[in-house]
Amino acid sequence: MPRQLLLLSLLALCVQADPELRISPDTAHLVLGHGSVGQVEFVLENTGTTSVELPLFYTLCECSFASLSRSEIPPGETASLTLRYDTRSKRLPEVQESYLTGARLYSDRPEAGFSALYLDVSITNSYRFLPFPGVIFRTIEPGTEATSSVTLFRDEGAPEILEARADQPWFSTALVEVEVEGRPAVRLDVTLDADAPAGRIGGRVELSTSLADQPRLVLPLIARRQPALQCPTSLLRLEAGDTLAVPFYSNGGEAELLEVRAPEWLRVWAGSGRVYVTTDPSYDGLTRGAQLQLLFDDPDMPCVLVPVLARERGAGAARAQLEQLGWRFDPVSAELSFARQRRDGYPLRRHLELYRLEAGAPVDVMQLSDGVFASHTYLGNQRATLVISYEPRGLAAGFVAAECRIETAGQSFRLPVFGELEGRVEAVPGGLVFSAANPEQVLFLRGLDALAAELELSGLELLSDERRDGGRKLVLRVATPATRGSLRAGSAEVPFVVRP
């Protein structure tokens, strides 16, 4: 019986919208093993008599990425468009699963619309898992070590697993040869360190195999360490002048709040198990995003980050007026948000469709407030498509927000755009609390640039710096007589306080 292979079949279909832009080949096939990254290249030929500019192109899912060799194609010349697909972001199916994705290209002629590439993805799997393809821990008490396992086998022989690596520094792995119903198998043991942070802990483990066509398997890791401190971290939607409260308490007694840090356009104060927040009189009314830093006297959760979305009072009321002019929104929430994610330098994009009824007034101007986001607009007779992008720059991380202003017939609608971005370096926990009983603290760095990030210490001494797969483990001590300060490593900034 031939060995069953893990295949990714990629079918690319080209829909021609611009008659002067010819894309070839119109069909492409790409076969990959799960855990690999592959790409297919298309040739864009300008068959017209004038240059074709492609100012905007984007993929339709976060598993595929597109790159263009040049954005302007003179008459008779070509450009190359490369589509790259990453199978690691998809879970391993039990047998087979299919996905539909693609890409869109917009030219500089609005009347030409867009050209689209659709990708029909089929992922099959020949591995079997007991109990399931992933490693999940039960709720773990603070300060304890825990181990969870998953067993892998194949129908056609041994799994041939060579190495296992976790992407987070508080997970360690081991491979053990076992048998399942008389067949050779491999058991993957994953151990969570006793000094791992509290709360929900996610990650993944990558398994290297000896198979050329299936070099890697990627399994999710999910654990939860029970924290004593309870404090909600849901988004606070704050209108100018309003006051909101963030409650907190501890299962083991009263939680001690040491300090609250916020940007200068917010006012915060604490009282009786709550942190109160309102806008400062200097707030300019633009849609802004920030994270409150709440530092507690708690070893498992010393810093809690609470995202705040601030808007001018009544900023959303113009939506009803805009709808009276005949416009409808998709999505109906009339706001754009993106989940916490890291895109390795690729733009984050969200879309808003504006549909106009017969009596609708035309959209005159679409613009963004502060330049954090970039937009491109195509207006039709009864529809306007607004594409909003966030380009990660420098140390951009945390909760960010901006607004898009849509003006039509003398009316203005302010659309909030917000979400949380992971930095290329992140630190866990996000804050440190020192005291006479705890003169030293452990900090983990993770992310794309964690191993190479330079450390900037303010009020801290570095006792050890242990580099691991997936990150670094730092042991820190306060530099006397400092009582507060921070550590910066790339996009990560960690505050600390000294408990009296």
CA 338 from centre of chain: 8
Q: What residues contact residue 401 under an 8 Å CB cut-off, 6+ apart?
A: 287, 288, 289, 309, 310, 416, 417, 418, 419
Q: Nearest CA to 479 among 457, 500, 453?
A: 457
What is the reported pLDDT for 369?
Answer: 46
Amino acid present at 20: E
Q: Which domains does the chain have, with CATH numbers?
A: 8-124 (2.60.40.10), 127-225 (2.60.40.10), 229-311 (2.60.40.10), 318-421 (2.60.40.10), 426-498 (2.60.40.10)
What is the reported pLDDT for 460?
Answer: 92
Asked whether the beta carbons of 279 and 266 are under 8 A apart, the reply is: yes
Q: Which residue is it, tokens 């601030």?
A: 310
* Cα dihedral: 246, 252, 254, 255 (round 10): -50
Asked whether the beta carbons of 164 and 207 are under 8 A apart, the reply is: yes
Q: Enter the tokens of residue 220.
A: 């999710």
What is the reported pLDDT for 29?
Answer: 75
Q: Which residue is it, tokens 């892998």?
A: 152
For each of the chain's 500 residues, which pLDDT tens digit applies?
333 333 334 344 444 455 677 888 766 777 776 767 778 888 888 888 888 888 777 777 777 888 888 888 888 888 888 888 887 777 776 666 777 777 777 777 766 667 777 777 777 777 788 888 889 898 888 778 999 999 988 777 767 888 999 988 889 999 999 988 788 889 999 999 887 877 788 888 988 887 766 677 888 899 988 877 888 888 898 999 999 999 988 876 667 888 899 999 999 999 888 999 999 999 988 888 888 989 988 877 788 889 999 988 876 565 566 566 565 555 445 566 665 555 444 455 555 555 554 444 555 545 454 444 445 455 555 555 555 555 555 445 778 777 766 666 666 677 777 777 777 788 888 888 888 878 888 898 888 788 888 999 999 999 999 887 678 989 999 988 878 888 988 878 888 888 87
Burial class (CB in 10 A: 0-12, 13-18, 19+), 263: middle
Q: Nearest CA to 312 among 270, 277, 347, 284?
A: 284
What is the reported pLDDT for 12?
Answer: 40
List own/partner pairs for 466-470 with CB under 8 A and 24 or more apart.
Answer: 468/169, 469/165, 469/166, 469/167, 469/169, 470/165, 470/166, 470/167, 470/168, 470/169, 470/171, 470/203, 470/446
Asked whether the beta carbons of 398 and 427 are under 8 A apart, the reply is: no
Q: What angle do CA 35, 164, 443 make, to 5 degrees?
A: 105
What is the reported pLDDT for 3?
Answer: 34
| C-alpha distance from residue 209 to each of 16, 30, 161, 286 (Å) | 41, 21, 5, 52
